[in-house]
Amino acid sequence: MEPDIVQGTSPRIILHLDMDSFYASVEMQGRPELRGKAVVIGADPNHGKGRGVVATCSYEARAFGIRSAMPISQAFVLCPHAVFLPPDFPRYVKSSADVMAILKAHGFPLQQVSIDEAFLDVSQLGTFPAATDLAVRIKDTILTHLGLTCSIGLAPTKVVAKIASDVHKPGGLTIVEPENLVSFLAPMPVRKIPGIGKKSEAELFEMGIRTIRDLAAFDIQVLIARFGRSAIALQDIAAGIDKSEVKEQDGVKSVSRETTFSNDTDDEQLIAATMDALAEEVCRNLSDVSLHCRTVTVKVRYQGFVTRTKARTLPHYTGDPATVCTCAHTLLRDIFDGRKIRLLGIRLSSFDTCDARQMTLEV
Ligand code: DCP
Ligand code: MG
């Protein structure tokens, strides 16, 4: 299949930027004593008995095998002398807004997709060398003004730009020109395609599909029988075809807060008090970024990792902790079945301004 890289007369040029070890880099900025150190942002390790997870860590900490979402207790075992810091959420929101302002200043369509990543459609620049100059300038500006490093991918499609930005992290700039699109993708493991997680990867492996080349060449009817109609888009992506556009203000919009109990609990008073604290905290996060929300979602993870969530959309926008608390308790009553709870969380979404980012914080 020929890659569909030409839209109209000239290829699109999409820039994807992702900040390097974002929360950790923000913490290290302005604290030279942390430079070059293993820094882990997340729950309190409590001398190896802590129960939350790692949000992120510096590249020095990654050399010890520490990764995002790993239990903090495991991180402590891997590197007990690391500097463990609790997340400072409002600070990351501010830094994120500063990064996005630098991107926006160039006047191209911008789509923020998480707290630390965004797409820019820079097709108007006309050539990859011109886009490369812009990418270098953006990296310089972010480093000079914010003291932070990022990685950038430039490609004719969003999916490939995103894959490219990850290739030479940290500090990378990876350019995939139209003629190199297929050869860039072909040898990569299928897991590199955004949306292919552990489960799909295992299913594809079972079918003998390991690389993106394997996926592009596989019998589409067999793929459809296994994965449904979504297999068509998947195989298109493997062949370098991706018409998705940079949609301005289409970022994920939620603020959340969750906590892991130090011991699994069915103590209703403790659970209710924890819910109050989480609701208050998340409302504070909301007011830090001057937002009001309409949708409240409560998450309960029981012993054994069975997770239940329930959401409710309020008739009016609110930032009022009491209103959010009441709603959260109603939802909690609906999903709490008396079993012991491991983790409790709350998420606020449906904001009245589009100036929002996805932010999750586990403490
Ligand atoms: N994050 C989190 N929990 C996760 C993953 C990420 O809290 N499981 C937060 C912390 C990260 C930020 O989101 O700093 C951005 O996520 P990335 O996946 O981009 O990770 P980093 O920016 O930390 O590292 P990288 O250099 O790999 O992009
Ligand atoms: Mg990042």
Question: What are the tens digits of pLDDT across the range 135-161?
Answer: 999 999 999 999 999 999 999 999 999
Tokens 């480093």, residue located = 143
pLDDT value for 363: 32
Residue nearest to atom 3 of ligand 1 (CA): 55
pLDDT value for 74: 97
Between the CA of 19 and the centroid of ligand 2 the distance, in Å, is 4
Residue nearest to atom 23 of ligand 1 (CA): 21
> 3-class SS at 37?
coil
pLDDT value for 252: 42
pLDDT value for 163: 98
Between the CA of 95 and the centroid of ligand 1 the distance, in Å, is 14
pLDDT value for 287: 73
55 lines ligand 1 (CB under 6 A): yes
pLDDT band at 21 (very low <50, low <70, confident <90, very high): very high
- H helices present in the chain, as ranges: 22-28, 59-62, 72-78, 89-104, 128-146, 158-167, 181-185, 198-206, 212-217, 220-227, 230-238, 268-288, 321-335
| Euclidean distance between CA atoms 191 and 155, whole angstroms | 19
Structure token digits, residue 198: 């552990």
pLDDT value for 284: 82
89 lines ligand 1 (CB under 6 A): no
The ligand with the least distance to the CA atom of 69 is 1
189 lines ligand 1 (CB under 6 A): no
pLDDT digits (tens, 9 = 90+) for 199-242: 889 999 999 999 999 999 999 999 999 888 889 999 999 999 99
- pLDDT above 70 coverage of the chain, percent: 92
pTM comes to 0.74
85 lines ligand 1 (CB under 6 A): no
pLDDT value for 290: 63
pLDDT value for 249: 63
- The residues carrying an active-site annotation are 117
> 3-class SS at 283?
helix
pLDDT band at 9 (very low <50, low <70, confident <90, very high): low
Q: What is the mean pLDDT of the chain?
A: 90
N-terminal to C-terminal alpha carbon distance within the chain: 48
pLDDT of 116 > 90? The answer is yes
